Structure 1
Amino acid sequence: MDPLSDIISFLRLRSYLVGGFEAGGNWSVGFDAHEAIKCYAVTAGACWIAVEGAGAPVFLQKGDCFMLPRGQPFQIASDLSLPPDDWRRHFLGTEEGALVKLNDGSGVTVLGGHFALAGPQAEILLGMLPPIVHLRGEAETLRWAFERMREELTDLKPGGILIAQQLAAMIFIQALRLYLNENKGTGWLFALTDQRIGAAIKAIHREPSRRWTVETLAVEAGMSRASFAARFRQLVGESPIEYLTRWRMRLAERSLEHGEPIGAIALSLGYESESAFRTAFKRVTGTTPRHHARSSGHRNAVRFLA
């Protein structure tokens, strides 16, 4: 499995909601802070969006997509100088998959949905993304998936929820791909687009238990040790061994949450002793493997009872 797929496999997509709105004339709607990732496509017309903490407002045109991964409050409008209506006035209580009409409902169409990522690893991915991801001219790439998701959730056919879940994952991954193609940054996500450093990251994810060194990872990247170490830190923001250890601990967390024995986990991740594994786990996560296992068991029980 490739590194991006590895990470996303940790993040359980949930709370799928799809729909959108059609707006005409002068309009403005304000939305509170939210936990879910919002991902939308402008399929007709144009409008403005201002996200708290994201800097200058963004002008959205037909064919644009935007994703809001950080959950900050935002305003979307024909004119941002208009006082925003509370979103509840128009959207609260609407049916799943509905298109809400603002004013006469002609001129601007925004179609999309939102979903949440469960699990403590979500910040590994979301923390690298800006408050708004603006994808210019990419609506057609995602529009089919949005419309199909809406159909599945409104028609209520057998298997519809499962199809909607798979579509949600596809939309999210495709939006990430489009964003990576257009942007540069620091972190493992952006480093995947670098052929040589990406090869080293893929090797780590392919064999996390292997006794990797900077030298052997440099061979995977086809670089000298010094050049590889400097390039890796420049792109990823940490050393190759730091990244390897952190990824091993992410895998360990998942195994602990599944109830696997600590000794078996240590061996599966390349540690010769349980003691060495415990030390690494606490250094990276700030807690002990046993405490993490107990805490995750408590959280699972609460979710079940809820």
Structure 2
Amino acid sequence: MTATDSVLSAEPLGQALHFLRLSGTFYCHAELTEPWGVTVPATPDYLWFHIVTAGQGLLEVDGAGVQTLRPGELALVPHGRGHRLRSEPGVAAPNVVELPHEYFGDRYAVLRHGGGDAPGTLVCGGVRFDHPAARELVALLPRLLHLDASRGTEAEWLQATLRLIAAEATTLRPGGETVITRLSDILVVQAIRSWIENDPAAQTGWLGALRDPQIGQAISLIHRHPARPWTLASLAAEVTMSRSAFAARFTQTAGEPVMAYLTRWRMHLARQQLLDGAAVGELAGRLGYHSIAAFSRAFKRVHGTPPSTVRQHTEPAGIPSP
């Protein structure tokens, strides 16, 4: 049994966490002096994180209010929403893309900005989750997720990781950008796991369905074997439920009928594999379709466009580039 097989045989919620692999896109060490402000434009499909290592600031996310950020705190803006960071209310906040950056490699930059008074530093980043299970999970997160290292069950690991990031950010030693980006990735995944464990909102919907012993098992079977010719009856039999009881409970816990979930899951896998360079013809059989036409119809029904239009992913305009 491979390591992946071992994980996939674990409980369904553990599987979802296993697939929280980030595609690091852009990381920034911001050296700021008051008064300062920046706007991060909307970047669909991206999660932004902000870590204060010195000073403090205000994070404004449309629809989620204003959050004060201090050293030892971490904020996630999960859904690619545009947002603003300022030293105090009302300070001008130019588009961060239009400000000059000093690049260290393709994905790491230092931003120096502000009015010249009291200094502060932030470590920020925009990241993606490519696996469909990870995207499903991230879609459930609130508009703004804030963690305080001084309280809660996550205090110890959060404080330790933030101290390491702050130490590296103070003086960029050789390899410092690599250390900061790796630690930031860990913080993001840990923050999501903490939310799952502590927020009542994570006990319902898709995450709640994963926790259900029988519905979670059915979802796990779909994830592990998407090409099998699943039917309502065959899935119900696998989890030892009657067809009617299984259908009703799946819809109630997961929020959609099981066969709709199966199709959507297959098409999310298809989109990712198309972005990775797979041909439309090979995907039809790989995902349980007997013809390219049937596969293409299902893909268009879920994504709104035919699979032939999918292209290799390119970075949105909101991500600075050297």
The two structures have a TM-score, normalised by structure 2, of 0.66
Equivalent-residue separation in structure 1 for 2:92 and 2:279 (angstroms): 53
1:3–1:201 contact (8 Å) kept in structure 2: no
Give aligned-pair identity as a percent: 33
Would you say 1:14 and 2:25 are equivalent positions? Answer: yes
Question: Greater shift after overlay, 204-213 or 121-130?
Answer: 121-130
1:233–1:116 CA distance, 2 compared to 1 (3 A)? same
Instruction: List gaps (5 residues or longer) in structure 1.
Output: 301-305
Q: Counterpart of 2:259?
A: 241
Q: CA deviation at 1:85?
A: 3.9
Would you say 1:135 and 2:118 are equivalent positions? Answer: no
1:241-286: CA deviations, max 9, x gaps?
Answer: 1111111112222333344343432222122333322222222222
1:20-40: CA deviations, max 9, x gaps?
Answer: 7687xxx67453434353323
Letter in 2 for 1:208: P
Q: Counterpart of 1:270?
A: 288
Aligned CA-pair RMSD = 4.3
Equivalent-residue separation in structure 2 for 1:52 and 1:125 (angstroms): 21
Q: Counterpart of 1:33?
A: 41
Would you say 1:66 and 2:66 are equivalent positions? Answer: no
Equivalent-residue separation in structure 2 for 1:37 and 1:135 (angstroms): 15
1:125-168: CA deviations, max 9, x gaps?
Answer: 554333211234346434544565673993233xx766655444
1:47–1:212 CA distance, 2 compared to 1 (3 A)? same
Q: CA deviation at 1:203?
A: 1.9
1:95-145: CA deviations, max 9, x gaps?
Answer: 54679897434xxx7753212328797975554333211234346434544
1:30–1:84 contact (8 Å) kept in structure 2: no
Equivalent-residue separation in structure 2 for 1:234 and 1:209 (angstroms): 25
1:85–1:14 CA distance, 2 compared to 1 (3 A)? same
1:140–1:103 CA distance, 2 compared to 1 (3 A)? farther
Equivalent-residue separation in structure 2 for 1:235 and 1:139 (angstroms): 32
Q: Counterpart of 2:5?
A: none
Aligned residue pairs: how many?
283
In structure 2, the residue corresponding to 1:155 is in which secondary structure? coil
Would you say 1:200 and 2:218 are equivalent positions? Answer: yes
In structure 2, the residue corresponding to 1:117 is in which secondary structure? strand
Q: Map of 1:101-140 to 2, 5 A cutoff?
A: 103-105=117-119, 111-117=122-128, 124=136, 126-136=138-148, 137=151, 138=154, 140=156
Would you say 1:280 and 2:298 are equivalent positions? Answer: yes
Would you say 1:179 and 2:209 are equivalent positions? Answer: no
Instruction: List gaps (5 residues or longer) in structure 2.
Output: 1-7, 9-14, 103-108, 316-321
1:256 to 274, 277, 300: 274
1:42–1:110 contact (8 Å) kept in structure 2: yes
Q: CA deviation at 1:206?
A: 1.1
Q: Counterpart of 2:311?
A: 296
Q: CA deviation at 1:296?
A: 1.0
